[in-house]
Amino acid sequence: MAQKGVLSENEAMSLFKGILAGCGAIIDGGVIHRDLKPSNIMLSGSIPKIIDFGFCEVILGGGIVRAFNVGSPAYMAPEALLKTLYSEKSDSWSLGIILYEMLHGKTPDGGMDTKEFLERVRNNPNLIKDSIKPGLSNNTVQLLEKSLCYKTEDRMSVSGMKYLTDVFMINVSKNNQSNFSSSSINNHPLTSKANGHLTPMNPTPHNLPQRNVPLKNQ
């Protein structure tokens, strides 16, 4: 991820709302992505598009998939990285990391070994909460805390994340506080757009190779 600045809360949540809409549609279709990260989210104008379904898995009835270890460590849920178990809530964790990164300019692991970071989260339930910068709304803080719970049973679902994001946007609209514009998003170093073409959000470096295989007929 680019080191220059971060998105404002309004900008990040506006963009995140679109990302959640895409993820919700995928899950409603009985599929989990398993490799959500900034480089797999591209912008068409101001609309985020999720790409690279090379690791996706069909999962019906809210079940759990045991599969080969796939994904990008910095964005992988604990059960995915440590036990090769995947579910909808594995994608919830990845989304929480993405939102955290948009708001802080870095992933919450602070560059430490991912497994060491997950062990710290397991031993200290307040680790994520204590690392969140001050000044964010209660809705956004809840999103970060509840999407980044170590235990899957405590972690918020994608539909729950969509609800909190919608509440935030409604409150922004009511209070006339939104400064969001597509131009500010497109010109931001996290989500730049060049020459009218889709440009990936800049990812935080991680240990696994990048995979960016756009879907056909988008």
Indicate whether 1 belongs to any domain.
no
Task: State the DSSP code for 125.
Answer: T
Indicate whether 129 belongs to any domain.
yes
Distance between CA atoms of residues 61 and 70, nearest Å: 22
CATH code (residue 128): 1.10.510.10
Higher pLDDT, 17 or 182: 17
Q: How confident is the model at residue 218 (pLDDT cuts 50, 70, 90)?
A: very low
pTM across the whole model? 0.78
Indicate whether 212 belongs to any domain.
no
Report pLDDT for 84: 85
Q: How confident is the model at residue 155 (pLDDT cuts 50, 70, 90)?
A: very high
User: Percent of the chain having pLDDT more than 70?
Assistant: 74
Domain count, the chain: 1
Give the closest residue to 54 by CA, choosing from 152, 63, 46, 39: 39
Q: What is the number of other CB atoms lying within 10 angstroms of the CB of residue 84?
A: 14
**Residues that are catalytic:** 35
Structural domain including 140 reads: 9-181
Indicate whether 148 belongs to any domain.
yes
Indicate whether 79 belongs to any domain.
yes
Indicate whether 163 belongs to any domain.
yes
Report pLDDT for 89: 94
Indicate whether 215 belongs to any domain.
no
- CA–CA distances in Å: residue 212 to residues 21, 36, 54, 84, 207: 20, 11, 9, 22, 15
The per-residue pLDDT of the chain, averaged, comes to: 81
Indicate whether 168 belongs to any domain.
yes
